[in-house]
Amino acid sequence: MTKIGFIRHGSTPWNIEGKAQGWCDIPLNIDGIEDANRLAQRLLSEDWDIIYSSDLIRAHHTANIIAEKMMKTVYLDSRLREIAGGLIEGTTEEERILKWGSGWRELDLQIESDDRVLSRGITFINEICEKHPNENVLIVSHGSFLKKIIKNFIPNEPFEESLLNTSITLLQRDTSGWSCSLFNCTKHLVLTNKEIT
Protein backbone atom coordinates (compact mmCIF):
# COMPACT_ATOMS: atom_id res chain seq x y z
CA MET A 1 0.00 0.00 0.00
CA THR A 2 1.21 3.49 -0.87
CA LYS A 3 0.04 6.29 1.46
CA ILE A 4 0.10 9.88 0.25
CA GLY A 5 -0.29 12.92 2.47
CA PHE A 6 -1.49 15.87 0.41
CA ILE A 7 -0.60 19.16 2.08
CA ARG A 8 -1.73 22.62 1.06
CA HIS A 9 0.95 25.29 1.55
CA GLY A 10 0.85 27.84 4.35
CA SER A 11 -0.95 31.18 4.15
CA THR A 12 0.28 34.02 1.92
CA PRO A 13 -0.58 37.74 1.70
CA TRP A 14 -2.70 37.01 -1.38
CA ASN A 15 -4.65 34.33 0.49
CA ILE A 16 -5.60 36.98 3.04
CA GLU A 17 -6.53 39.48 0.30
CA GLY A 18 -8.56 36.90 -1.64
CA LYS A 19 -6.42 37.18 -4.78
CA ALA A 20 -6.04 34.34 -7.27
CA GLN A 21 -2.41 33.19 -7.12
CA GLY A 22 -1.96 30.57 -9.83
CA TRP A 23 1.66 30.48 -10.95
CA CYS A 24 2.52 33.87 -9.40
CA ASP A 25 5.34 33.17 -6.95
CA ILE A 26 3.94 34.62 -3.72
CA PRO A 27 5.83 33.95 -0.44
CA LEU A 28 4.37 32.78 2.85
CA ASN A 29 3.29 35.36 5.38
CA ILE A 30 4.19 35.18 9.10
CA ASP A 31 1.12 33.08 9.90
CA GLY A 32 1.94 30.74 7.03
CA ILE A 33 5.43 30.14 8.39
CA GLU A 34 4.15 29.58 11.94
CA ASP A 35 1.41 27.20 10.78
CA ALA A 36 3.92 25.24 8.67
CA ASN A 37 6.03 24.81 11.81
CA ARG A 38 2.97 23.53 13.68
CA LEU A 39 2.32 21.04 10.91
CA ALA A 40 5.97 19.95 10.91
CA GLN A 41 5.80 19.30 14.65
CA ARG A 42 2.69 17.17 14.17
CA LEU A 43 4.29 15.15 11.37
CA LEU A 44 7.31 14.32 13.55
CA SER A 45 5.19 11.76 15.38
CA GLU A 46 4.16 10.09 12.11
CA ASP A 47 6.01 7.82 9.69
CA TRP A 48 6.90 9.56 6.41
CA ASP A 49 9.55 8.41 3.96
CA ILE A 50 9.91 11.18 1.37
CA ILE A 51 8.72 14.70 0.56
CA TYR A 52 7.81 16.15 -2.84
CA SER A 53 6.78 19.75 -3.46
CA SER A 54 5.65 22.21 -6.06
CA ASP A 55 8.51 24.49 -7.08
CA LEU A 56 6.51 27.65 -6.29
CA ILE A 57 7.96 29.37 -3.22
CA ARG A 58 4.85 29.18 -1.01
CA ALA A 59 4.78 25.39 -1.31
CA HIS A 60 8.56 24.95 -1.40
CA HIS A 61 9.01 27.00 1.78
CA THR A 62 6.27 25.00 3.54
CA ALA A 63 7.94 21.76 2.48
CA ASN A 64 11.37 22.97 3.62
CA ILE A 65 10.04 23.76 7.09
CA ILE A 66 8.64 20.23 7.34
CA ALA A 67 11.77 18.65 5.89
CA GLU A 68 14.09 20.49 8.27
CA LYS A 69 12.25 19.14 11.32
CA MET A 70 12.08 15.64 9.85
CA MET A 71 15.65 15.74 8.50
CA LYS A 72 14.46 14.88 4.99
CA THR A 73 15.23 16.20 1.51
CA VAL A 74 12.57 17.99 -0.55
CA TYR A 75 12.21 16.96 -4.19
CA LEU A 76 10.71 19.68 -6.41
CA ASP A 77 8.45 19.02 -9.37
CA SER A 78 6.74 21.71 -11.47
CA ARG A 79 3.84 19.33 -12.20
CA LEU A 80 2.68 20.02 -8.62
CA ARG A 81 2.12 23.73 -9.33
CA GLU A 82 -1.23 25.39 -8.76
CA ILE A 83 -3.66 25.65 -11.67
CA ALA A 84 -2.35 28.39 -13.95
CA GLY A 85 -4.73 31.31 -13.55
CA GLY A 86 -4.03 33.17 -16.77
CA LEU A 87 -5.48 36.68 -16.77
CA ILE A 88 -7.16 36.35 -13.36
CA GLU A 89 -3.91 35.95 -11.39
CA GLY A 90 -3.52 38.78 -8.88
CA THR A 91 -7.23 39.69 -8.93
CA THR A 92 -10.02 39.31 -6.38
CA GLU A 93 -13.52 38.04 -7.19
CA GLU A 94 -14.83 41.61 -6.94
CA GLU A 95 -12.19 42.85 -9.39
CA ARG A 96 -12.98 40.04 -11.82
CA ILE A 97 -16.67 40.89 -11.80
CA LEU A 98 -15.92 44.58 -12.36
CA LYS A 99 -13.57 43.79 -15.26
CA TRP A 100 -15.32 40.88 -16.99
CA GLY A 101 -18.79 40.65 -15.46
CA SER A 102 -20.39 38.00 -13.26
CA GLY A 103 -20.01 35.42 -16.04
CA TRP A 104 -16.21 35.70 -16.11
CA ARG A 105 -15.85 31.94 -15.55
CA GLU A 106 -17.42 31.36 -18.97
CA LEU A 107 -14.83 33.54 -20.75
CA ASP A 108 -11.50 32.45 -22.18
CA LEU A 109 -9.16 34.10 -19.67
CA GLN A 110 -6.27 31.72 -20.38
CA ILE A 111 -6.91 29.62 -17.26
CA GLU A 112 -5.34 26.16 -17.42
CA SER A 113 -7.86 23.53 -18.52
CA ASP A 114 -9.07 20.74 -16.23
CA ASP A 115 -7.74 18.18 -18.72
CA ARG A 116 -4.24 19.65 -18.58
CA VAL A 117 -4.29 19.90 -14.77
CA LEU A 118 -5.43 16.30 -14.37
CA SER A 119 -2.95 15.05 -16.96
CA ARG A 120 0.09 16.44 -15.15
CA GLY A 121 -1.26 15.59 -11.71
CA ILE A 122 -2.29 12.01 -12.43
CA THR A 123 0.94 11.33 -14.31
CA PHE A 124 2.91 12.52 -11.29
CA ILE A 125 0.89 10.48 -8.77
CA ASN A 126 1.16 7.32 -10.87
CA GLU A 127 4.94 7.78 -11.06
CA ILE A 128 5.10 8.24 -7.29
CA CYS A 129 3.18 5.02 -6.68
CA GLU A 130 5.54 3.13 -9.00
CA LYS A 131 8.69 4.63 -7.44
CA HIS A 132 7.56 4.33 -3.82
CA PRO A 133 5.48 1.18 -3.39
CA ASN A 134 4.56 0.54 0.26
CA GLU A 135 6.00 3.91 1.31
CA ASN A 136 4.48 7.00 2.89
CA VAL A 137 4.87 10.08 0.69
CA LEU A 138 4.20 13.73 1.55
CA ILE A 139 3.22 16.05 -1.30
CA VAL A 140 3.13 19.81 -0.67
CA SER A 141 1.13 21.66 -3.26
CA HIS A 142 -1.81 24.02 -3.78
CA GLY A 143 -5.50 24.07 -2.88
CA SER A 144 -7.29 24.04 -6.23
CA PHE A 145 -4.80 21.66 -7.82
CA LEU A 146 -4.96 19.18 -4.92
CA LYS A 147 -8.75 19.28 -4.75
CA LYS A 148 -9.01 18.29 -8.43
CA ILE A 149 -6.51 15.45 -7.97
CA ILE A 150 -8.19 14.13 -4.81
CA LYS A 151 -11.62 14.28 -6.45
CA ASN A 152 -10.26 12.33 -9.42
CA PHE A 153 -9.04 9.47 -7.23
CA ILE A 154 -12.00 9.54 -4.79
CA PRO A 155 -14.89 10.56 -7.09
CA ASN A 156 -17.75 9.35 -4.89
CA GLU A 157 -16.95 11.47 -1.83
CA PRO A 158 -18.55 14.94 -1.48
CA PHE A 159 -15.31 16.88 -1.01
CA GLU A 160 -16.89 20.29 -1.60
CA GLU A 161 -15.09 22.43 0.97
CA SER A 162 -11.93 24.29 0.01
CA LEU A 163 -8.68 22.90 1.36
CA LEU A 164 -7.36 24.96 4.27
CA ASN A 165 -3.81 26.29 4.42
CA THR A 166 -1.43 23.63 5.88
CA SER A 167 -4.25 21.06 5.88
CA ILE A 168 -3.36 17.42 5.28
CA THR A 169 -5.46 14.87 3.42
CA LEU A 170 -4.51 11.19 3.47
CA LEU A 171 -5.09 8.85 0.53
CA GLN A 172 -4.06 5.20 0.35
CA ARG A 173 -3.80 2.97 -2.70
CA ASP A 174 -3.94 -0.80 -2.38
CA THR A 175 -5.07 -3.64 -4.65
CA SER A 176 -8.70 -2.53 -4.35
CA GLY A 177 -7.98 1.06 -5.39
CA TRP A 178 -7.88 4.42 -3.62
CA SER A 179 -9.41 5.37 -0.27
CA CYS A 180 -9.36 8.50 1.90
CA SER A 181 -8.80 8.19 5.65
CA LEU A 182 -8.43 11.90 6.49
CA PHE A 183 -9.63 15.03 4.70
CA ASN A 184 -8.62 18.67 5.14
CA CYS A 185 -7.31 18.17 8.69
CA THR A 186 -5.71 21.09 10.56
CA LYS A 187 -5.67 19.77 14.13
CA HIS A 188 -2.02 20.87 14.40
CA LEU A 189 -3.09 24.51 14.39
CA VAL A 190 -4.16 24.21 18.03
CA LEU A 191 -0.57 23.51 19.14
CA THR A 192 0.94 26.15 21.43
CA ASN A 193 4.07 28.08 20.50
CA LYS A 194 5.97 26.09 23.14
CA GLU A 195 4.91 22.81 21.51
CA ILE A 196 6.24 23.81 18.08
CA THR A 197 9.73 24.85 19.20
Active site residue 142: yes
Which residue out of 60, 61, 132, 142 is catalytically annotated?
A: 142
Q: Supply φ then ψ for residue 173, to 5 degrees.
A: -120, 125
51 in Cβ contact with 74 (< 8 Å):
yes
Q: Say how far apart CA 26 and CA 28 lie, in whole Å.
A: 7
Which residue out of 9, 60, 61, 188 is catalytically annotated?
A: 9
Closest of 12, 14, 20 to residue 97, by C-alpha? 20
Q: Say how far apart CA 142 and CA 75 lie, in whole Å.
A: 16
Terminal-residue alpha carbon distance, the chain: 33
List active site positions. Answer: 9, 142
